[in-house]
């Protein structure tokens, strides 16, 4: 069974082809700059040379055609016919309250996804475009939606409701939804394995730190609170997103600058965060270089980011009552040992003790315990694998075995599982 996993962004389409029978990744890749001049594809196969090529992709349909042509190419392709693709799994960022688990996409499901696209205006429209394009290019294959928000549907009302007029929730669905759900699901299940416990026996703080950042409080294996909210804008300081701010700042700046809604949306989502503080950089590697060169605003950005992460750890430790482990994942969480050290320093009174040597060595994207031997709370670095969640959900739906994640056991929950 060959599964194609797709993650369609506004200007990119990431893909992964997985052979379920062999339990192996066949290839991964990305079509970049979709809808922008200078489009190209990067195609990688395990143990073989990376293939790259320039090809204009004015929309997602053309990008998906390019991906299929690449998969079928006699020199560097991985399949002989599109009929070999058993199903397509689609990442959908926002499922609102309707979707608590992955589902087979029919017209009703697609319309429901469209109905909540205003809750994730940067993400759901390209997700929808990708689904429509893929269904047109691969009309015979089943298409399945995997939602970022599904894992967080276990949050209680006290965590997901805002202290705004209650009618807003009933009329417009204004509440906390949370994101990066497949990542938090994967690393929380792997953390349970590393701790030698069942998923429903662990309390965790999982920290997905990439360009987008979200922190989740996992109690007895389920999400009970998370930092992102109605949209992915709330929460920690991110690459270009502001995270938590005083809402009155928006009113204040409208009065001072006369901003329109679309201008503020662009500023808060694309010109704030680390980029807003430094004025130049959103990539933490660039910020580290600038900081080493004496750039004070780069240094300030690091201090603000790690301070805010530290505050979330404290808040979620209080919400959970006790914590078995802190889990670091995603690009910076997995590779940036300096960010981890600054975030976790000074938390010894909470039972969180980092081993500096282990931390400095943990940059090779392997599951690693970087806590001191006498640390009551373990500190784990776990490379995320959102795609395997996609793949397993797709296969289990095709086989009629799928259940909501609170009742479903994934293959990566087995102690002997290897990526």
Question: How many Å apart are CA 187 and CA 378, to the nearest integer?
Answer: 14
- Digit-coded pLDDT (tens) for 299-336: 999 999 999 999 999 999 999 999 999 999 998 999 99
Is the predicted pLDDT of residue 13 greater than 70, yes or no? yes
C-beta separation of 4 from 88 below 8 A: yes
Question: How many Å apart are CA 164 and CA 176, to the nearest integer?
Answer: 12
- Digit-coded pLDDT (tens) for 161-203: 999 999 999 998 899 999 999 999 999 999 999 999 999 999 9
pLDDT given for residue 218 in this prediction: 98
Give the pairing type, strands 222-226 and 143-147: unpaired
pLDDT given for residue 34 in this prediction: 82
Coil, strand or helix at 248: helix
C-beta separation of 159 from 190 below 8 A: no
Is the predicted pLDDT of residue 285 greater than 90, yes or no? no
The residues that are catalytic are 148
Tokens representing residue 246 in the block: 């005083």
At residue 356, φ and ψ (nearest 5 deg) are -60, -40
pLDDT given for residue 1 in this prediction: 85
Is the predicted pLDDT of residue 381 greater than 70, yes or no? yes
Tokens representing residue 183 in the block: 């990542």
pLDDT given for residue 10 in this prediction: 67
Mean pLDDT of the chain: 91
Topology classification of domain 191-384: Nucleotidyltransferase; domain 5 (3.30.420)
Question: How many Å apart are CA 298 and CA 201, to the nearest integer?
Answer: 40
pLDDT confidence of 125, banded at 50, 70, 90?
confident
Is the predicted pLDDT of residue 91 greater than 90, yes or no? no
Q: 43 forms bridges with which residues in the sheet?
A: 29, 51
Minimum mean pLDDT among 120-124, 261-265, 354-358, 365-369: which range?
A: 120-124
Minimum mean pLDDT among 90-94, 211-215, 217-221, 415-419: which range?
A: 415-419
Report the run of H or E that residue 144 belongs to, with start and end: strand 143-147
Report the run of H or E that residue 358 belongs to, with start and end: helix 356-361
- Digit-coded pLDDT (tens) for 224-268: 999 999 998 999 999 999 999 999 999 999 999 999 998 999 999
Q: What percent of the chain stands above pLDDT 70? A: 100
Is the predicted pLDDT of residue 120 greater than 80, yes or no? no
- For the domain spanning 2-147+388-397, the CATH number is 3.30.420.40
Is the predicted pLDDT of residue 118 greater than 80, yes or no? no
- Digit-coded pLDDT (tens) for 129-155: 888 888 888 888 999 999 989 999 999
Each residue of 251-263: b (16+ CB within 10 Å) or e?
eeeeeeeeeeeee
Tokens representing residue 262 in the block: 């679309």
Domains 2-147+388-397 and 191-384 share a fold: yes
Is the predicted pLDDT of residue 418 greater than 80, yes or no? no
Report the run of H or E that residue 31 belongs to, with start and end: strand 24-32
Q: 206 forms bridges with which residues in the sheet?
A: 216, 327
- Digit-coded pLDDT (tens) for 38-63: 889 999 998 898 999 898 888 888 88
What are the angstrom distances between the C-alpha of 36 and each of 8, 57, 63, 127, 142?
15, 7, 11, 17, 29
Question: How many Å apart are CA 164 and CA 167, to the nearest integer?
Answer: 8
Any idea where the domains of the chain sit in the sequence?
A: 2-147+388-397, 191-384
pLDDT given for residue 35 in this prediction: 80
Residues whose CB is less than 8 angstroms from the CB of residue 205 and which lie 6 or more positions away in sequence, other chains included: 215, 216, 217, 218, 312, 313, 316, 317, 320, 323, 325, 326, 327
Which is nearest to 23 in space by CA: 386, 384, 365, 391? 391
| Structure letter (DSSP) for residue 12 | E
pLDDT confidence of 293, banded at 50, 70, 90?
very high
Question: How many Å apart are CA 384 and CA 379, to the nearest integer?
Answer: 15
> Is pTM beyond 0.95 here?
no
Question: How many Å apart are CA 284 and CA 160, to the nearest integer?
Answer: 30
Tokens representing residue 170 in the block: 């009933």
């Amino acid at each position: 069974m060959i599964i194609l996993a797709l993650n369609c962004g506004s200007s990119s389409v990431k893909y992964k082809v997985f052979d379920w029978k062999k339990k192996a990744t066949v290839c991964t890749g990305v079509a970049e700059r979709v809808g922008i001049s200078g489009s190209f594809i990067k195609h990688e196969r395990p143990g073989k040379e990376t293939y790259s090529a320039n090809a204009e992709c004015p929309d997602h349909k053309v990008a998906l055609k390019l991906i299929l042509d690449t998969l079928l190419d006699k020199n560097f392709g991985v399949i002989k016919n599109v009929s070999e693709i058993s199903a397509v799994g689609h990442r959908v960022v926002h499922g609102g309250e309707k979707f608590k688990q992955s589902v087979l996409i029919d017209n009703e499901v697609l319309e429901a996804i469209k109905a909540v696209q205003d809750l994730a205006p940067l993400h759901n429209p390209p997700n929808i475009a990708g689904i429509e394009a893929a269904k047109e290019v691969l009309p015979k294959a089943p298409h399945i939606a995997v939602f970022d928000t599904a894992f967080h549907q276990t949050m209680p009302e006290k965590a997901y409701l805002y202290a705004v007029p209650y009618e807003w929730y009933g009329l417009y669905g204004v509440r906390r939804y949370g994101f990066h759900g497949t990542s938090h699901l994967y690393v929380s299940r792997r953390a349970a394995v590393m701790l030698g416990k069942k998923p429903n026996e662990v309390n965790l703080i999982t920290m997905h730190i990439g360009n987008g950042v979200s922190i989740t409080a996992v109690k007895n294996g389920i999400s009970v609170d998370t930092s992102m909210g109605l949209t992915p804008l709330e929460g920690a300081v991110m690459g270009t997103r502001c995270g938590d701010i005083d809402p009155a700042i928006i009113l204040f700046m409208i009065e001072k600058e006369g901003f329109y809604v679309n201008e503020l949306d662009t500023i808060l989502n694309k010109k704030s965060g680390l980029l807003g503080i430094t004025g130049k950089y959103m990539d933490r590697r660039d910020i580290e270089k600038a900081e080493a060169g004496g750039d004070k605003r780069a240094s300030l950005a690091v201090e603000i980011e790690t301070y805010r992460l530290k505050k979330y750890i404290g808040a979620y430790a209080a919400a959970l009552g006790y914590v078995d482990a802190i889990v670091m994942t995603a690009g910076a969480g997995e590779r940036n040992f300096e960010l981890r050290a600054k975030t976790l320093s000074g938390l010894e009174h909470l039972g969180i003790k980092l081993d500096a040597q282990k931390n400095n060595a943990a940059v090779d994207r392997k599951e690693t315990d970087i806590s001191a031997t006498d640390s009551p709370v373990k500190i784990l670095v776990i490379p995320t694998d959102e795609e395997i969640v996609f793949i397993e959900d797709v296969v289990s739906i095709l086989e009629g075995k799928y259940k909501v994640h609170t009742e479903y056991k994934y293959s990566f929950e087995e102690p002997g599982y290897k990526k």
